[in-house]
């Protein structure tokens, strides 16, 4: 499919050259975010080799976290919704669901260990009387868990939370498998070879002309992407949004399909900001039948009103593999957007400023 490019041809070629300038990219990436992005498969492989056992039988799992620390739980919630008869839920914020009780395993996930929302939920979860586990690299969560003899899965420190996804995802997979919710370890292992191959195809040394992540980054540059995906892979769209927000320092938003047909579509067809916004649709090879037809009709309606959406078909033999490969693609896209904008992808000074104001 041919997508509309917003640059004049010569300017587009100039921007493309920025993504093939390895020296410039290395100079911009002062904190080595690229190495953390390419390390995702290795992080997963390492984390799922760790030991975690659960003494008590449970009938549900509640994963508590916010921001980048909760994305691993989001992926496994999507996965469990089609593979498990036990409920797996991610609690973001400061409240536990009413149904969390003595038969619910509560996993408290904070990469830094100092996320105040998670520390607050730890105290609330202890009152419910069910089994608990912490997943962290240190901080207050590690100390509180050790003081209370709560088991902890310790992950390596020194990374941005969003760049520790593999460790946090792998650790959360240990938890839901121990709870008998889903065979997450086996399915993650199965996905690793495809992720390694994709990593090689998206790396900076692969020229823009044949590098999917670089080509999509060029389409998204200087626009505000709004990324849509079906519910079974909705976390991919959310991860694309947050990685573009944090790595590229850009506004981006995400939503679900077909839910957007009942609200967002009005803005796309009748709104006034079309030149600034860009719809991005994520689809899988397995999207067919009614859902596939409806997405095609939605895309055509948007086209008929003067907007050329970016449509990305994600590969993967299973929904979990598709999610992981889609997330890796989005991570690379966010990195290349940072390179186009000339910014170091790692620092997030505004988030740190906000945290300081909340102390």
In a domain, 71, yes or no: yes
Same domain for 240 and 316, yes or no, is: yes
Residue that terminates a domain, selected from 189, 217, 235: 189
Identify the pLDDT of residue 275.
Answer: 82
In the residue annotation, 355 being an active-site residue is answered as: yes
Same domain for 185 and 237, yes or no, is: no
Q: Given the DSSP bridges, would you call strands 253-257 and 277-284 parallel, antiparallel or unpaired?
A: unpaired
Same domain for 15 and 52, yes or no, is: no
In a domain, 358, yes or no: no
Q: Given the DSSP bridges, would you call strands 132-136 and 104-110 parallel, antiparallel or unpaired?
A: parallel
Identify the pLDDT of residue 180.
Answer: 95
Residue that terminates a domain, selected from 189, 218, 235: 189
Name the pTM for this structure.
Answer: 0.93
Please list, in sequence order, all residues whose beta carbon lies within 8 angstroms of the beta carbon of residue 278, skipping any fewer than 6 positions away: 219, 220, 223, 224, 225, 226, 307, 309, 310
Provide the number of structural domains found in the chain: 2
Same domain for 333 and 296, yes or no, is: yes
Same domain for 177 and 132, yes or no, is: yes
Choosing from 9, 262, 270, 272, which is the catalytic residue? 262
Same domain for 48 and 184, yes or no, is: yes
Identify the pLDDT of residue 13.
Answer: 54
In a domain, 136, yes or no: yes
Same domain for 184 and 208, yes or no, is: no
Residues in the chain: 359
In a domain, 332, yes or no: yes
Same domain for 44 and 185, yes or no, is: yes
Same domain for 46 and 109, yes or no, is: yes
| Domain coverage including residue 270 | 9-30+203-341
CATH of residue 282's domain is 3.40.50.10490
Same domain for 180 and 257, yes or no, is: no
Identify the pLDDT of residue 6.
Answer: 39
Identify the pLDDT of residue 356.
Answer: 86
Question: Mind listing the pLDDT tens digit of every residue in the chain (359 residues)?
Answer: 333 333 444 445 568 899 999 999 999 999 999 999 999 999 999 999 999 999 889 999 999 999 999 999 999 999 999 999 999 999 998 899 999 999 999 999 999 999 999 999 999 999 999 999 999 999 999 999 999 999 999 999 999 999 999 999 999 999 999 999 999 999 999 999 999 999 999 999 999 999 999 999 999 999 999 999 999 899 999 999 999 999 999 999 999 999 999 999 999 999 987 789 999 999 987 776 788 899 999 999 999 999 999 999 999 998 899 999 999 999 999 999 999 999 999 999 998 898 889 87
Identify the pLDDT of residue 11.
Answer: 47
In the residue annotation, 264 being an active-site residue is answered as: no
Choosing from 117, 246, 249, 283, which is the catalytic residue? 246
In a domain, 194, yes or no: no
| DSSP collapsed to 3 states, 315-350 | CCCCHHHHHHHHHHHHHHHHHHHHHHHCCCCCCCHH
In a domain, 347, yes or no: no
DSSP assignment of 64-108 equals E--GGGGHHHHHHHHHHHTT-SSEEEEE-SS---TT--TTEEEEE
In the residue annotation, 308 being an active-site residue is answered as: no
Same domain for 19 and 68, yes or no, is: no
d(Cα 38, Cα 241) in Å, to the nearest integer? 19
In a domain, 198, yes or no: no
In a domain, 3, yes or no: no
Letter string b/e over residues 220-230, b meaning 16 or more CB atoms within 10 A of that residue's CB: bbebebbbbbb
């Amino acid at each position: 499919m041919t997508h509309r490019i917003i640059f004049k041809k010569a300017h587009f070629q100039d921007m493309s050259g920025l993504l093939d300038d390895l020296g410039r990219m290395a100079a911009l990436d002062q904190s080595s975010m690229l190495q953390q992005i390419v390390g995702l498969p290795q992080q997963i492989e390492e984390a799922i080799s760790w030991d975690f056992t659960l003494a008590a039988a449970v009938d549900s799992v509640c994963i508590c976290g916010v921001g980048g620390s909760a994305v691993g739980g989001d992926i496994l919630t999507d996965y469990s919704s089609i593979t498990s008869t036990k409920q797996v839920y991610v609690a973001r914020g400061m409240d536990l669901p009413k149904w969390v009780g003595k038969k619910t395993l509560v996993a408290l996930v904070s990469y830094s260990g100092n996320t105040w929302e998670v520390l607050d939920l730890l105290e609330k979860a202890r009152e419910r009387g069910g089994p608990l586990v912490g997943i962290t690299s240190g901080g207050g969560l590690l100390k509180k868990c050790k003081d209370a003899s709560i088991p902890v899965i310790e992950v390596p420190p020194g990374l941005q939370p969003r760049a520790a996804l593999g460790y946090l995802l792998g650790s959360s997979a240990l938890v839901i498998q121990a709870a008998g919710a889903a065979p997450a370890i086996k399915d993650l292992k199965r996905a690793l070879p495809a992720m390694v191959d994709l990593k090689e195809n998206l790396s900076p040394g692969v020229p823009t002309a044949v590098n999917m992540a670089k080509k999509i980054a060029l389409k998204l540059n200087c626009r505000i992407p709004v990324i849509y995906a079906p519910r079974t892979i909705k976390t991919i769209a959310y991860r694309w949004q947050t990685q573009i927000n944090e790595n590229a320092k850009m506004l981006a938003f995400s939503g679900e399909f077909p839910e957007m047909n009942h609200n967002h579509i009005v803005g796309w067809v009748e709104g006034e900001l079309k030149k600034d916004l860009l719809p991005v649709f994520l689809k899988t090879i397995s999207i067919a039948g009614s859902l596939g037809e409806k997405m095609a009709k939605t895309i055509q309606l948007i086209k008929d009103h003067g907007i050329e959406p970016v449509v990305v078909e994600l590969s993967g033999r299973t929904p979990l593999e598709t999610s992981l490969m889609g997330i890796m693609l989005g991570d690379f896209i966010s990195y290349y957007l940072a390179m186009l904008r000339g910014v170091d992808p790692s620092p997030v000074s505004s988030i740190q400023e906000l945290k300081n104001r909340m102390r």
